Each structure stands twice: as C-alpha cells, then as structure tokens.
Structure 1
Amino acid sequence: MIDALYIAASGLQGSQTQIDTLSNNLANMQTPGYKRSNVNFANVAMLTPAQVAQGAGAQGPGEGVEVLGSHAVFSEGALVQSGNPLDLAIQGQGFLEVLDAAGNHLYTRAGQLHVDSEGYLTTAQGNRLADGIQVPPDAKDLTIASDGKVSAVLGSDTQPTEIGQIQLATFASPDGLQSVGSNAYMATEASGDATLGRPQDSGFGSLQQGMIEQSNVDMVQSMTSLVLAQRAYQLNARVLQAADEILDTINNLRR
C-alpha cells in the first residue's frame, strides 16, 4: 500500500508536467516560428528482493512513471504572407544561425528580422545573424532570394548589389537541441554540431521573403491531450486519497 502512494505521486508529477507543457504550447499558438514540445515518459520498474540477490536484470512490478524530459517537435508550420520584406520564413529543413549578446551560437526558425542601429540584420529577440550581414545606410529595395543571397540598391545605383549570403544550419538529431527561450535553441551532444549550407542546396530548405512561419501547434490535438492529462491527474489524486484512507483504516484496526 505504501507503494501505491509513491506510484500515485509519480503519476501526479508526470501529469502536472504534461499539463504545463501543453498549456505552454497552447499559449504560443500565435507565436511565429514556435515549435511545440512533447514530454517523454518512462515506466519505473523494480527488482524483487530475490532478483536482486541473484543479480538478475529482469524487471518486476511497475513503480510508477518518470519524466525523462521534453523535446521540441520541428515539423514545419504553415507559411503566411506578412507583407514585411524583412520577414523571412524557411520552407523545408534548416535553422537561421544567430549570435546572442554573449557571442553564443543559437538557432531559430523565427525569421522576423529588422536592421539594428549598426545596420546588421537582427532577429526580433535582438540576436544578429551569424552571417554578419550589414545593410549600408543608403540601401533601399532590400531583397532576400530563396537561395539566401541578400541584395539592395545602393545610393544612386540603378542595379542591385549583393551585400551578403544567408546560410542555414541543419543537425543530425534536431530533437537533441536545447531550448534557451524566445524560440531559440542551442546545440548539444545529443543534437550534434551544426552543418552549414546555402539554402536550396541538398538537405537544406529555401528562404521565403515577406513570409512568416506560423506555430506548429494543433489546437484540437493539444486541447484533447490537455483534457486527458487533467483526467490522469484527477485519477492519480483519487488513488492517493484511497491509499491514504486504507492506511488509516489499517492503523485504526491495530489499536
């Protein structure tokens, strides 16, 4: 009966983690470039005393659930036109590589760009593109081609001049990327190092100027999962309460 308390408690913790994750997904449904998160669970098993004495590796009765962590799902969201020439969406695989204030290399699919005070192309979160593309003060008619070439008409020129090249980054295991907030991710041992390449090259997506990628959160699926997680939480709470009442009854019988 004591085991029932621990099993129910692990179920409560797991359900709460699932509820928090799903709630965060739903809260970011309208956030451009947001990628929904999934929670990974594992069944906790134990060895019986006899199996421990024999050094056996077989697993015994279940001992509840354990939260292994969460990971982002990088399926592509719908692309919609924004009318802003500095908005940039990735169609297919790849991430924009950016640098944060500390010089760390981060990766994102949220391509709502702007030109900062020094002329560099920067994300809405204030991270400059790692390609270091600087737009001259007299530039106009900025164009970002699907292959990442950035051009603008400079000064009194009548023809555009290429001023930079945007590259994309891919990973062997993008599920291993670590979220650092604001739709940005950091490479880990699990994800592997970034592989850089030009858009439209083999294995890389293409860039779409004047478009944004919407969140990949499915409202119906997320709401359904949220209801199931809430029901699981309630059932585990009832198990916890029932186990407590049975233990109380047993204690009273001993008196």
Structure 2
Amino acid sequence: MLRSLYAGISGMKANQVKLDVIGNNIANVGTTSFKGSRVRFQDMVSQSMSQALAPGASQGGINPRQVGLGVQVAGIDTLVGQGGMQPTSRNLDVAMDGEGYLMVAKGKTPLTNADGVGVDPTEHTANAPSGTDLFYTRDGALTLDKEGNLLNSDGLRVLGYAISEVDDKPSLDYDVTKSTTTPPKSPTLNYVNADSTTLKPSGTLIPLVIPEKIFVLGDANAVPPTSDGDVRVKTFSIEKDGVVKAILEGGKVAILGQIAVASFKNPGGLSKVGGNIYQNTSNSGAPIVRTGKNTDKAVPDNSAGYGDMLQGMLEMSNVDLAEQFTDMIIASRAFQAAGKTISTGDEILQDIINLKR
C-alpha cells in the first residue's frame, strides 16, 4: 500500500521529465538543424517476497515473487537523424547532407598555419592550441563581419584548411606588404588560382576569410600584359567538398580555402551547449576531421565518409510533430494514472484508519 504511493510518485516524476523533453522538442520544431531527444524509462529495484525454488522430487519449481518499487529515467537520447532541407537562395547558407559537423572556434585566433588547430595526419584528430575552444554545429547559417571573417550566427569563427600550390608560389596572394587595402586581422591566407593542378591543403585549421579584394600577380605573357594589383571579389561559392571559391573581376577564380568538417564515433554523446552548437565529451570521442582537398597520398584519405555541403540551403529540425503529440498524450495519461495510484492508496489508508471507529 505504502509502496504503491511511492511507485506513483516515481511514475509522476519520470513522466514529468518526459513531458519536459517533449515540450523542448516542440518548442524547437522550427530551429535550424535541431536534433530532438527522447526519454527512456527503466524499472527500479524490486523487493523479493520469496525466492525461487528449484523442482524437487515431490513438487515442481516455484518462481520468485517480487514487487516493483517504481520507475526511473534510464536515459535521454539525442536523435541525430538527418533533418529536412530548406532552400534559402542565400550564398552564405550551407547544409550538411549526410555525416559531418562544421568546426567553429572561440578564443585566441591563430595568426598563421603554424599555430592553428593541429590535425593528426594518421588519426585525423584535432588538437586546439591553448586559449582556443572548439565547438561543432550543423547550423550552416553563416555570416561575415566587417573584416571578412566567416562566422556562425553567434560570432564563432569557422575553421578550415588554407589552400596553396605545391611549390608555395601562388598566382594569387593576399600579402600585407603588397596589398593596397587593409587586410583582415585574421590568419594570412594564400589565395590560389582555381585552375591550378598542384593544390594542397595546410596541415592545420585556421579561421577562413572572404576578403573584399585579393592581390593578384601580373601576367607578362597575357595579351595585353597585366600588372600586379588588387582585384575585387565579385561573388563566391561553396562547393560540395567545402572548397570556397571567389569569382574576381576579370573572370579569374580563386580558391579561398576549404571548410573543415568533423565526425564522431558516437555523435549521440555530444553535449548541447546552446546556440545550436555542441561540444565533444569523453563518450562522444575525439573529432575525426575530414582530410583536405588533394591531400598527400601518404596520408589516409577519409573524405569519402562525409556528406556533401549544399550551398543555399539549411537543414531543418528533425522533430516530427505528429510523433511528439502522440508521445505527449501517452505521457500525460501515464502521469494522471500515476496520480490516481496515489489517491487510491490514500483512500485505502483512510479505510484502515476508520476501522478503529
């Protein structure tokens, strides 16, 4: 009788948690790239009234007699399934179609490739320098600041590979000593001609920049010959592999870098920190970074295991409203039933007390 009271209390508490999770899912049905959650229950310890008995010569076996003492929350799982795609026609919007999270950083900005976020060439794990915090997101609603830094909606810098030519003599450059415009206060990036066949990614990740102008080396063999000078960036595009290309005045195309993408052995183990961003935990595993474009053949290439980056689209929430409302009805009725257990136990206690009268 008293056990039923406490079992009812545990049922109300557990279903209250489930209603809280359902309410959060419904509230975020329109949140970009939101991943819904579910609640799982498990029974508490059971009190044994009698132990099991094995069959004997004169009688058969007897099962144990146990009374359950209630319910508890077994886990709250993040459902990492793909959300629907919504076209936006905005060139700074990107959606991951498949596996992968964008990498964003907060804190000290690496000034060169040498002090960027290191990527292990064998394990493909990321190692952030001191003073830099790494986060991960599926929200591809990117923005630019006045210096051209590529950011998420909360101002965290988007990380990626700098792209250069194998001989380290790019035909397009953004050099502080050459450019007549004020360069971004971000890592110095080499911008190379997209027609080059000898491209290679940097070994580290640094914040990407989309500048207003790029310094272009002149071509004496052109007709007519061209001289060195700044060329304005007319527009840019983001390809499926994350390579950012700028179309310059005059028709040349420059590669500005490649957006980095990471995956996890257990994405459900990521911790939500708000703002549509996640942080890895001890159970999610370390981030496994996608290899860059034209990576050296000596380095294992894992790029085939990641999804495509779709420009002009955003991933929507993966919450199914019909399923959430059904779960809400079940949780609400279960909550009421648990409350009824308590009121019924109270009536029985009242009858016992009345026996003395």
TM-score using structure 2 length: 0.65
Match of 1:148 in 2: 242
Match of 1:162 in 2: 255
Letter in 2 for 1:62: G
Aligned counterpart for 2:88 among listed residues 63, 82, 85 = 82
The answer to whether residue 332 in structure 2 is matched with residue 239 in structure 1 is no
Match of 1:23 in 2: 23
Q: Distance in 1 between matches of 2:283 and 2:68?
A: 28
Q: Distance in 1 between matches of 2:132 and 2:339?
A: 46
Q: Distance in 1 between matches of 2:66 and 2:281?
A: 34
Contact kept, 8 Å, 1:97 with 1:130, in 2: the verdict is yes
RMSD: 2.2
Deviation at 1:209, TM superposition (A): 0.4
Deviation at 1:75, TM superposition (A): 0.5
Match of 1:73 in 2: 79
Q: Distance in 2 between matches of 1:184 and 1:26?
A: 19
Match of 2:117 in 1: none
Contact kept, 8 Å, 1:46 with 1:59, in 2: the verdict is no
Aligned counterpart for 1:135 among listed residues 210, 216, 220 = 210
Q: Distance in 2 between matches of 1:121 and 1:234?
A: 51
Query: How many residues are aligned here?
Result: 248
Q: Could you say what secondary structure the match of 2:303 adopts? A: coil
Aligned counterpart for 1:230 among listed residues 332, 338, 346 = 332
Match of 1:37 in 2: 37
Assess, with a 3 A threshold, how the Cα gap between structure 1 residues 157 and 250 changes in structure 2: closer, same or farther.
farther
Q: Could you say what secondary structure the match of 2:284 adopts? A: coil
Match of 1:99 in 2: 105
Contact kept, 8 Å, 1:21 with 1:39, in 2: the verdict is yes
Assess, with a 3 A threshold, how the Cα gap between structure 1 residues 108 and 195 changes in structure 2: closer, same or farther.
same
The answer to whether residue 148 in structure 2 is matched with residue 119 in structure 1 is yes
Match of 1:250 in 2: 352
Assess, with a 3 A threshold, how the Cα gap between structure 1 residues 215 and 198 changes in structure 2: closer, same or farther.
farther
Letter in 2 for 1:135: I
Deviation at 1:35, TM superposition (A): 0.8
Match of 1:11 in 2: 11
Match of 1:54 in 2: none
Deviation at 1:3, TM superposition (A): 1.2
Contact kept, 8 Å, 2:50 with 2:66, in 1: the verdict is no
Contact kept, 8 Å, 1:148 with 1:207, in 2: the verdict is yes
Deviation at 1:45, TM superposition (A): 1.9
TM-score using structure 1 length: 0.89
Deviation at 1:184, TM superposition (A): 1.4
Q: Could you say what secondary structure the match of 1:89 adopts? A: strand
Assess, with a 3 A threshold, how the Cα gap between structure 1 residues 242 and 47 changes in structure 2: closer, same or farther.
closer
Q: Distance in 1 between matches of 2:72 and 2:151?
A: 40
Contact kept, 8 Å, 1:11 with 1:236, in 2: the verdict is yes
Letter in 1 for 2:133: N
Deviation at 1:254, TM superposition (A): 4.2
Residues 206-247 of structure 1 show CA distances to partners (whole Å, capped at 9, x for unaligned) of 100000111111111111111111111111111111112222
Assess, with a 3 A threshold, how the Cα gap between structure 1 residues 250 and 130 changes in structure 2: closer, same or farther.
farther
Deviates more, 1:106-115 or 1:93-102: 93-102
> Which 4+ runs in 1 deviate beyond 4 A?
none
Contact kept, 8 Å, 2:263 with 2:289, in 1: the verdict is yes
Deviation at 1:59, TM superposition (A): 10
Gaps of 5+ in 1: 52-57
Alignment map for 1:185-224 (pairs within 5 Å): 185-198=278-291, 201-224=303-326
Contact kept, 8 Å, 2:147 with 2:211, in 1: the verdict is no
Letter in 1 for 2:282: E
Gaps of 5+ in 2: 52-63, 108-130, 161-206, 214-232, 293-301
Between the two proteins, what is the percent identity of the paired residues?
A: 35
Residues 11-32 of structure 1 show CA distances to partners (whole Å, capped at 9, x for unaligned) of 1111111111111111111111
Residues 147-180 of structure 1 show CA distances to partners (whole Å, capped at 9, x for unaligned) of 11011135x4521211111121111111111111
Letter in 1 for 2:208: I
Deviation at 1:50, TM superposition (A): 7.3
Q: Could you say what secondary structure the match of 1:68 adopts? A: strand
